[in-house]
Chains A and B, each alone.
Chain A
Amino acid sequence: MTRELLEISGLKTHFFTRGGVARAVDGLDLQVGRGQIVALVGESGSGKTVAGFSILGLVSAPGRITEGRILLNGQDLVGKSDAEMARIRGDRIAMIFQDPMMTLNPVLRIDDQMIETIRIHDRKVSKVEARRRALEALREVGIPAPEARLRNYPHELSGGMRQRVAIAIALLNKPDLIIADEPTTALDVTIQAQILYLIRKLCEEHGTGFIWITHDLGVAAEIANRIAVMYAGRIVEEGPTDAVLDRPHHPYTEGLIRSLPEGQPRGAALFQIPGMTPSLLNLPEGCPFRPRCHRASEACRAMPPERVSAETRFRCFHPANAAEGALHELS
């Protein structure tokens, strides 16, 4: 069996609040292979960001990982000390945030922050060598006139350029895995296209695994090899991009795709998923999507087990686009 770059199984990250236990991530299974881009999509509040933070070891009180394993190259990250995780972050795993200023220090020049990032992880690299690598990274992310840009402060760059610098910083130590949380939501279409192109190329060339958190299905369609759909702390459907978008099994995935204006006649009423996102403190029993689901039956009062079709895995008793015989319970 070939070992995946990242294998998450049964991950639970809960927040112990005064109002009760918020099960933000509640039994997450996810694999990412080398050079693979997995889009993590889903409702606001479904636990995407918390899942990313769990991998990075950045969950803080009142939250903690209560169960599960996160294997990176076969090594379990759950239970590692803060110091060990700090070493792994930025060395083996890097993060790109929606706001590049989460990564960039406003009072440091770009070259200073990049050189520092390199030398924190390897003191033996000389300043000259680190500067050369910083320049190379800026060139890779397509920054024009990188020598001049190295001497800039973050506020002297446009939003799109800052995000590319943040990406360059994420790449500096050639991590195995990058987690990006809505990295292009604030950018416009033409700049976003530049970044999508760049990341796809980098993953192919360096074999970097990538988790791209987004609620934009169009972006997921363009960049991802696989799509994982989250609802109320779990992955409810996961598979190759084409299979998930063209033949979704889970009614939530189906609803998401149907509610997009793309492909609809101009001005037609859009499909709406009825109801509201459930409160994590008060999830319905059984399938958490049941109160909003048009396919729900009595059976859905129990938690649906994970099932597999030829292409995807999903959690639903009454999947769409499926010949019942072709589906199997996953034992």
Chain B
Amino acid sequence: MSFLEIKGLKKTFSTRPDLIARGLGALGLRNSTSPAVHAVREFSASLERGEVLGLIGESGCGKSTVARMLAGITRPTAGRVLLDGHDVIARDTPEARAAALDIQMIFQDAAAAMNPRYRIFDIITEAPLYHGRIKPSQARDKVAEVLEAVSMSPDVADRYPHQFSGGQRQRIGIARALAMQPKLLICDESVAALDVSIQAQVINLFMELREKFGLTYVFISHDLSVVRHLSDRVAIMYLGEIVEAAPAAELFAHPEHPYTRALMTQNPSLKNRARRHAPLAGEVPSPLDPPQGCYFNPRCRQAMEVCRAHHPALAALRAGHEAACFLHSTSRTNP
């Protein structure tokens, strides 16, 4: 069994129509029933200790929902997450409850997740004190230790979040997660908002922490070159499910799903000057109303008859490389 086993994770939200939609509904201008959003239809993956799983996909395809389920913030509709063999969703044993705390999340906007009236010291120690991961007498040392791990001086502990730059606040957010002594870090767009030069600092920091503490990561980003740089394995999501997964080097060298290929050719790159070829047409479909067959078929240049009728299943193309696409004979149906 792998260090992290994610099995058949699913999340369905029953939406409450937003205020405007409800208003229009009340006026009879639109119907206002509450449809179900299949935010995550099926997500399975496994990861060894010290590995990094990169997660890529279009806006709204369910990446953050997966992250929040792993971090125990959102309860899955179905599925299991095993960390070191302990079920961190059910949390039915003391070991499993402890294992759940071994998973920590770092948000896109670290500053938004900090109370502006708390000093850095309190921001870092609040959760580990509450969960009994450290004793009050150890708090000072712990803060100094985690600040040092993110290359900041212990003096900053007495300052407030607004006194720091974006990159520094992001590092403080990481220090706070480290104070819980996690084994698995979930990073949801943790470098997206950062300047290029600060982004390099934070990426280097993630790599150092992995060396030093043997941390395992799930790393979500829409920047393909960042994911390629950091990840051992990569999963590509589209509309709530994985459409391709492989070791990072293999995936970037031999992408097999047409969506993955589109991502790679359209990723902005310093090498693509004044590019002229026409982009992928069409809109990302809504999870409220997915197209029949393969969800990617309306945008796929290679779509065939079968793609409009049947939904392709994720299937192994070769060792460790899976894709869900009828172009590959292994991907037989799943209507």
Taking Cβ atoms with an 8 Å cutoff, the residues of A that contact B are 43-44, 106-107, 142, 144, 153, 155, 158-161, 186-194, 196-197, 200, 215-219, 221-223, 225, 241-242, 245, 255-257, 259-264, 266-273, 276-277
Taking Cβ atoms with an 8 Å cutoff, the residues of B that contact A are 18, 20-21, 24, 57-60, 165-166, 195-201, 203-204, 207, 222, 224-226, 228-230, 248-249, 262-263, 266-276, 278-284, 286, 299
Q: Provided the pairs A217-B270, A267-B207 are in contact, do residues A189 and B222 lie with their beta carbons within 8 angstroms?
A: yes
Residues of B within 8 A of A256 (CB): 196-197
- In the complex, the chain B residue whose C-beta lies closest to that of A106 is B20
Q: List 17 A-B contacts (CB under 8 A).
A: A187-B59, A188-B57, A188-B58, A189-B267, A190-B279, A191-B59, A193-B279, A217-B270, A218-B269, A241-B273, A245-B270, A259-B199, A260-B270, A262-B271, A269-B207, A273-B200, A276-B165
Check A153–B59 contact: CB distance below 8 A: no
Q: Provided the pairs A269-B204, A272-B200 are in contact, do residues A190 and B262 lie with their beta carbons within 8 angstroms?
A: yes
Check A193–B280 contact: CB distance below 8 A: yes
Check A262–B197 contact: CB distance below 8 A: no
Check A190–B58 contact: CB distance below 8 A: yes
Q: 9 new A-B pairs (CB below 8 Å) besides A191-B59, A221-B269, A221-B270?
A: A106-B20, A158-B286, A160-B59, A189-B268, A190-B262, A193-B268, A216-B268, A264-B229, A273-B200
A187 to chain B, nearest CB (A): 7
Check A221–B273 contact: CB distance below 8 A: yes
- In the complex, the chain A residue whose C-beta lies closest to that of B284 is A158
Check A261–B165 contact: CB distance below 8 A: no
Q: Provided the pairs A155-B20, A261-B226 are in contact, do residues A272 and B197 lie with their beta carbons within 8 angstroms?
A: yes
A321 to chain B, nearest CB (A): 15
Once bound together, how far apart are the Cα atoms of A44 and B196, in whole Å? Answer: 9
Check A218–B267 contact: CB distance below 8 A: yes
Check B166–A144 contact: CB distance below 8 A: no
- In the complex, the chain A residue whose C-beta lies closest to that of B58 is A188
Check A273–B266 contact: CB distance below 8 A: no
- In the complex, the chain A residue whose C-beta lies closest to that of B229 is A261
Residues of A within 8 A of B199 (CB): 259
Once bound together, how far apart are the Cα atoms of A120 and B158, in whole Å? Answer: 54
Check A219–B268 contact: CB distance below 8 A: yes
Once bound together, how far apart are the Cα atoms of A242 and B200, in whole Å? Answer: 23
Check B230–A267 contact: CB distance below 8 A: yes
B183 to chain A, nearest CB (A): 20
Once bound together, how far apart are the Cα atoms of A135 and B18, in whole Å? Answer: 27
Q: Provided the pairs A107-B20, A160-B284 are in contact, do residues A44 and B195 lie with their beta carbons within 8 angstroms?
A: yes
Once bound together, how far apart are the Cα atoms of A263 and B224, in whole Å? Answer: 12
Once bound together, how far apart are the Cα atoms of A161 and B59, in whole Å? Answer: 12
Check B272–A194 contact: CB distance below 8 A: no
Q: Given A197, A215, A257, which contacts B279 in the complex, CB threshold below 8 Å?
A: A197
Residues of A within 8 A of B224 (CB): 189
A210 to chain B, nearest CB (A): 13
Check A270–B204 contact: CB distance below 8 A: yes
Check B283–A158 contact: CB distance below 8 A: yes
Check B270–A218 contact: CB distance below 8 A: yes
A26 to chain B, nearest CB (A): 20
Check A155–B18 contact: CB distance below 8 A: yes
Check A221–B271 contact: CB distance below 8 A: yes
Q: Given B165, B262, B272, which contacts A222 in the complex, CB threshold below 8 Å?
A: B272
Once bound together, how far apart are the Cα atoms of A189 and B222, in whole Å? Answer: 7
Once bound together, how far apart are the Cα atoms of A107 and B268, in whole Å? Answer: 35
Once bound together, how far apart are the Cα atoms of A106 and B19, in whole Å? Answer: 11
Once bound together, how far apart are the Cα atoms of A219 and B203, in whole Å? Answer: 20
